[in-house]
Amino acid sequence: MTELSVASLLFLSATLLAIGLFGILTRRNFILLLIAVEIGMNAAILNFVYFAGFSGTSHGLSGQAIAVVLVGLAATEVAVGLAIVLALNRQRGSINIGDATTLKL
């Protein structure tokens, strides 16, 4: 198996992050926004996995552990996010973020 260079892996993460950011900044649909956030977050999780792999066992499994925790976190976040989307949809009849510019209902 060929060794992947750090640079190329980081490039992958950066690309993912860029896609996520692009989505966050441009999408007005709440669901798409959540997806974009997830993509950006996965870039960070990937980074943890890479560096955990490169650093061997010198830090135990902490990198992998954090990655797993983050995956769980992402899942809960999506759950909460979707709940908000549902509540918003019920309240405003739309899931466009342009309609939700105030913090109150």
Residues at the site binding another protein, with contacts judged by CB under 8 A: 21, 24-28, 33, 97-98, 100-103
Residue 96: phi and psi, rounded to 5, are -85, 130
**Smallest distance from another protein to CB 84, Å:** 11
Choose between 36 and 52: whose C-beta lies nearer to another protein: 36
Shorter beta-carbon distance to another protein: residue 61 or 87: 87
Distance CA 8, CA 25 (A): 25
CB nearer to another protein: give 26 or 62.
Answer: 26
